[in-house]
Amino acid sequence: MTDNENITEHGLTLVLGGTGKTGRRVVERLEALDVPVRMGSRSADPAFDWEDKATWTAVLRGVERVYLVYYPDLAVPGAPGAIRAFTAAAVDAGVRRVVLLSGRGEDEARACERIVQGSGLDWTIVRSSWFAQNFSEDYLLEPVRAGEVALPAGDVPEPFVHLDDVADVAVAALTEDGHTGEVYEVTGPRALTFAEAVAEIGRAAGREIAFVPVGARDYATALAGHGMPADIVEFLIYLFTTVLDGRNTPTTDGVRRALGREPRDFVDYARETATSGIWKELDQS
């Protein structure tokens, strides 16, 4: 992150998804900077629920800046309507600045970006590639621990981005001058196939972890069999079959432009995460 002397004076910042993968990192960084923070989640007080607009008024009261994260993703049906309604409510509440977490290569996410850009708020877009931490903090953790990652992903490389980089860019845009009107497309410094990423994890964890390519239909059936909701299954299949078609393979300079440093490499993520022990082999007894 850039030096604290570049931080501008500001009031209350609302972090939507404050308990999520990027949101909790943003909250931690803002609190370390002594920035007043309000977490936007169902478990917070006041509570925030994307499905209940009646909760929005209290959450936005007195807020100056917003880290805007839509769950589960801007690519799902209904996201543009929700983003349009929320940004309008934010304007009415006196919010001045918004930082939107968006998805790289998603047409639906671009539609949501345009809504934010036309809202009248000072805006910054953080357009992210695939999170490296999906292997340790999301749906890929269990397969890694089980020793076999089966995905409908072929040989198309993806420049996995470290979530600490995403959070650092978001916090810079929330707290510093000079980021308004910027679209920061953030990636890692190199692209890897999912097979290469799994191999990096295996080396870091000191164990064999196999990567098995499967068809999209078989993958959907397996997810449903494990009880994953149908809408999430549909979204994941969309990502693997559409976003991973090569459009997102090139790396970008978003982290460097926002922070003045290079992004973290996937191998660094793998080594750091392996030391936590989270990828230890599951007990089969």
CATH number at residue 24: 3.40.50.720
Instruction: Identify whether 148 is part of a domain.
Output: no
- Which residue is listed with tokens 């982290």? 255
- Position 281 scores a pLDDT of 84
**107: in domain:** yes
Predicted confidence at residue 283, as pLDDT, reads 62
Residue 88 forms part of a structural domain: yes
Distance CA 30, CA 25 (A): 9
Average pLDDT, the chain: 93
* This prediction's pTM: 0.93
- Residues in a beta bridge with 232: none
Q: Is residue 27 part of a domain?
A: yes
pLDDT digits (tens, 9 = 90+) for 77-133: 899 999 999 999 999 999 999 999 999 998 899 999 999 999 999 999 999 999 999
CB 243 within 8 A of CB 106: yes
Residue 102: the pLDDT is: 98
Say how many Å lie between the first and final Cα of the chain, rounded: 45
Domain count for the chain? 1
What is the model's pLDDT at position 139? 87
pLDDT in tens, 180-210: 999 999 999 999 999 999 999 999 999 999 9
Q: Quick one: pLDDT at residue 69?
A: 98
Kindly state the tokens that stand for 256. 């460097």
Count of beta carbons in the 10 Å neighbourhood of residue 191: 19
Residue 136 counted as domain residue: no
> Do the domain assignments include residue 210?
no
DSSP secondary structure, 134-190, as one string:
GGTSSTTHHHHHHTEEEES--S--B--B-HHHHHHHHHHHHHBSS-TT-EEEE--SS
Q: In whole angstroms, how far apart are CA 119 and each of 16, 54, 167?
A: 18, 21, 23
**Domain span including residue 61:** 6-130+162-187+250-263
In a domain, 256, yes or no: yes
CB contact at 8 A, 158 and 186? no
Per the domain annotation, does 281 fall within a domain? no
pLDDT tens digits, residue range 213-256? 999 989 999 889 989 888 888 888 888 888 889 999 999 999 99
